[in-house]
Structures are given as structure tokens and as C-alpha cells.
Chains A and B, each alone.
Chain A
Amino acid sequence: MEQLFIIFFSVVVINNFILAKFLGLCPFFGVSRELKSATSMGLAVIFVMTIASIVTWFINRYVLIAYQVEFLQTIVFILVIAALVQLVELFIAKTSPMLQRVLGIYLPLITTNCAVLGVCLLNIKDDYNLIETIIHGLGAGLGFTLAICIMAGIRERLSVCRVPPSMQGFPLSFVIGCLMALSFFGFQGFFTH
């Protein structure tokens, strides 16, 4: 139980996928203009990361390791994640139009997101069992949502401020991203073993 908590807490704040590992930066800057779309994006990422973690864990154990072709991890995971997201999207469109409206266009956007692939590869690298994998995937998604929502909140405030023309838009966003990463850097060394 303690181990699970450490995995969860560490992936949400200490080793945050965006702010410490610098994965998934495109949606972080692209979809963080409004809090509403950022939340939808975050939900979609949590959803996809958790499911992709579980499926790739099984693929790795019962296909790749069984046939001793672990070096195929990256390419097989990309394939599986892309197919999986399509499948889930079809399923959601049929069963829950409400959920589809919330996740909407964000689901296909993250099919080939590096953060999703990253979480799957890290699961394998750190040799997690199934439960740990689920917690890790869920935590990574939550960490992503946390970061993108904070970013969107800041950018919404900034939209009504006077900003010098040369800093408007992405330049200022990058500065904010840096400052956020620096502040999250303060969590480093939280657990000392």
C-alpha cells in the first residue's frame, strides 16, 4: 500500500510528466488557452493513459516477453495505443454520447501523444506489476491534468492583462511553463531512500 502511494504521489507531483519529464508539451501549450478545454483534454489523457497502461502491460508480458522480442516495445506500443484509442472512441460514441461530447475531439488528438507512450514504456522499465501499472498510469494522467489546468488558469488571467506585443502568446506561455517547472522542482527529494 505504501509502495502504491509513493508511486502515485511521485508521478503526480514529483516526477510530473509535463513539468519534470517534459513529455506531452504540445497539448500543454496548444490546448491550455481556456480552462474548459484544458479540463476536457486532461480527462481524455487520464482515460487514455490508464487504459493504455493496462493493455500494453498485458501485451508486453504475454506477447513480447513470451516471444523474446522486447526490442519491439516502442513500435508495438504505438500501434496498440493508436488502435486502442480508436476502438474506445467508437465504443464511447455508441454507448455514451454525453462522455463523447466532453472528451470529443481530444481523444483522437492524444493517440500518438508522447506522454501516453512514455507512461507505457516507463511501466515496463520500472518493472511494475499490474496494480502498480494502473496506479502509475492514473497518476500520470492526473499529473498532466493538474499541470495543464494550472497553466490554463494562469493564461486565462493573463488574457486581460497588458502584455508587451513581443511577449504575447507563446513567448509568455513558455516563460510561465518554465516558472511552473521550477516551482515543481521544489518537490524533488521529497522521498529520500
Chain B
Amino acid sequence: MNTIITAVIVLCSCGFLAGVALAIASRVFAVKTDPRVEQIEKILPGANCSGCGNPSCYAYAKSMVEDNAAPNLCVLAQDKAEEIGRILGKEVTAAEPKIAVIRCSDGALGPKQFEYSGIPSCRAAGFFCGGDNACQYSCLGFGDCIRVCPFGALSHQDRKTPEIDPEVCTGCGNCVAECPKQAIILVPKKALPHIACNTKDKGKIVRQNCQVGCISCGKCIKTCPEEAIVMQDDLISFDYSKCNACGKCIEACPRKIIVQLGDTKTGEAVNQ
């Protein structure tokens, strides 16, 4: 009987002392945090996609409060930028929503330089002579971009160029940074045309390497009434501040690789 009582007393007093010690310690060692950090973190989506350049939503909230980071960097909380601005006491304008597009119609279609059977990753494949595709600018199709997408917006079959679901894509830019061929870019989310080719080669070489690639004929540039299309190093790009989505370039392109955003470009462009 005595042993039981001693045991109970020892255990209880151990627990009590530990509790008191913790209570005191939480007072003594309390770390002062800015309540605004917590408020902003609640508004942020909590996806930790690092699209804003911070490792996590908490880190972004903290840098907004402490280091004066811009409150409209979060691609998912654009509509809430004003709310965040109110907490911080700042005027904020929402940034233009963006979306990622792949500037390649289908890398798997063209001829190969050699047979590649190494590590199934674009980055690894790219180390050998720039990958097995004859076109040095094409998508390698191992899906590195699919693996880094925190939202699951990309998908592909075999080694075809991945497709981006415009409904799911948030424009965080993780895939843009991952692609070893720089074949992915961010464009404004409004329905605008974009060119599904990344090549800087001359037309003759493109013809050898790809059935659909841009041959730098320049028809789109001449057709565009707004002068929104420019060519630099044989690479076509759009100036989206001028483009009004008239769609004339889409009709003019003899290779059918200028497509409307949101269209499934792969396959369609090839069949036509």
C-alpha cells in the first residue's frame, strides 16, 4: 500500500513540476511576433508553391511585414492583395494574372540524334549533346516540369510535350525555372495567341528537325495590325501589351503553330 502511495506522489509531483516549469518558461522565453504576420498568413493560400520567391507562405508573410516585400506577389491570392494591403496599411494594385505555356508543339515528333536510355529526366538527358532530339530547342518530354508543379496542372503521355491545364495553372513559375530548355514561359492569362515553338534555328534547319517548327517566315509579323509580334534571333515572341487577340496571326501562320491559349495544341497543330 505504501509503495502505491509513494508511486502516485512521485509521478504526480513530477508531472506538476514539469507543468509549472513549462508554464514559467513559456512566459520567460516568449518570443514577440508581429500579429500581422499571422493575419496575412491566414489570407495566403498555404500552398507553399514558392511562386513569390519565398520558400513558404509563412516566409512570404514574414517578409511582407518585416522586409517590406510587395503584397501582390502571390499568384493565388491576387484578389486578396487589397486585403493584405489593408493589414499592412499600404495601397496595393493586383498584378496581371499569368499562366504558363510551353513553347514547343511536340518534341517527340522530330528525328533523334541518338537513342537515349539513361535517367528519365529532362535535366539529365540535356547533359548529353543537349538531349536526344535533333532540335536543340525542343521539349525533351521527360516531365521534369510535371514533377515540380505543386498544383498538378501538367500532364503528358510517353514523351510527348506536356499539356498545361489553364484552369489549374496558377502561374507560379516553378516549371519555368525547372525546364532545362527554357521552353516554358509565363504569359498573361487573357485568351491570347502564343507561339508553340522555341527554336532559334534558321528555317532550313528547322525543316530538317521538325515537321511543325517555326521557319521564321515572318508572315505573322506582316499580318499583325498592332505590330505586337517581334522576331529576335529567329525566335518569334509576342508583345502582349499591344496584342488585342484578333487572331489574324493564327490564320496566317503556314505551319499552324500560333495557337490560342487554352487550346490543346499538341496533335491538333500536327493534323492540320
Residues 157-174 of A, flagged 1 when their CB comes within 8 A of B and 0 if not, give: 000111000000000000
Cα distance, A23 to B238, chains bound together (Å) = 60
Q: Report the separation of the CA atoms of residues A116 and B7 in the bound assembly, to the nearest whole angstrom.
A: 23
CB contacts (< 8 Å) of B28 on chain A: these are: 94
The 0/1 profile, CB within 8 Å of B marked 1, for residues 43-77 of chain A is 00000000000000001000110011101100110
Cβ-defined partner of B7 (8 Å) among A69, A79, A87, A162: A69
CA distance A161 to B121 in the complex (A): 10
Interface size on B, residues (CB 8 A): 21
**B6 within 8 Å of A (CB atoms):** yes
CB of B18 within 8 A of CB of A83, answer yes
Q: Is B1 an interface residue (CB 8 A)?
A: no
A83/B29 contact (C-beta < 8 A), A67-B10, A75-B11, A160-B121 known:
no
* Structural contact, A90 and B25, CB atoms closer than 8 A: yes
The residue from B7, B14, B119 contacting A160, defined by CB atoms under 8 A apart:
B119
* Residues on the B chain within 8 Å of A72, using CB: 7, 10-11
Q: Which of A59, A68, A83, A161 contacts B119 (CB 8 A)?
A: A161
Task: Give the complex CA separation of A94 and B25 in angstroms.
Answer: 10
Is residue B168 contacting chain A, with contact meaning CB distance below 8 A?
no
CB-CB < 8 A to A79: which residues of B? 11, 14-15, 18
Question: Are B6 and A68 interface neighbours, CB within 8 A?
Answer: yes
**Count of chain A residues with a beta carbon within 8 Å of a chain B beta carbon:** 24
Q: Which of B16-32 contact A (CB under 8 A)?
A: 18-19, 21-22, 25-26, 28-31
B21 CB contacts on chain A under 8 angstroms:
83, 87
**Structural contact, B25 and A67, CB atoms closer than 8 A:** no
Asked if B232 lies at the interface with its beta carbon under 8 angstroms from chain A, I say: no
Contact pattern, B 1-15, Cβ under 8 Å of A = 1, otherwise 0: 001001100110011
Report the bound CA distance from A94 to B26 in whole Å.
10
Is B120 among interface residues, defined by CB-CB distance under 8 A? yes
| Minimal Cβ-Cβ distance residue in B for A77 | B14
List the A side residues contacting B29 at CB < 8 Å: 90-91, 93-95
B19: chain A residues within 8 A (beta carbon): 83
What is the bound-complex CA distance between A77 and B226, given in angstroms? 76
> Are A93 and B10 interface neighbours, CB within 8 A?
no
Chain A CB within 8 A of B205 CB: no
Interface membership of A80, Cβ < 8 A: yes
Give CA–CA (A75, B30) in the complex, Å.
29
Contacts of A93 in B (CB 8 A): 29, 31
Judge if A188 is at the interface, Cβ distance under 8 Å.
Answer: no
Interface status of A112 (Cβ within 8 A of chain B): no
Residues of B within 8 A of A (CB): 3, 6-7, 10-11, 14-15, 18-19, 21-22, 25-26, 28-31, 119-121, 124
Q: Which residues of A contact B (CB under 8 A)?
A: 59, 63-64, 67-69, 71-72, 75-76, 79-80, 82-83, 86-87, 90-91, 93-95, 160-162
Enumerate 6 A-B pairs (CB-CB under 8 Å) in ascending A order: A67-B6, A68-B3, A69-B6, A80-B18, A87-B22, A94-B30
Known contacts A86-B25, A94-B28; can you find 14 more A-B pairs with CB under 8 A? A59-B14, A68-B3, A68-B6, A72-B10, A75-B11, A80-B18, A82-B18, A83-B19, A90-B26, A90-B29, A93-B29, A160-B119, A160-B124, A161-B119
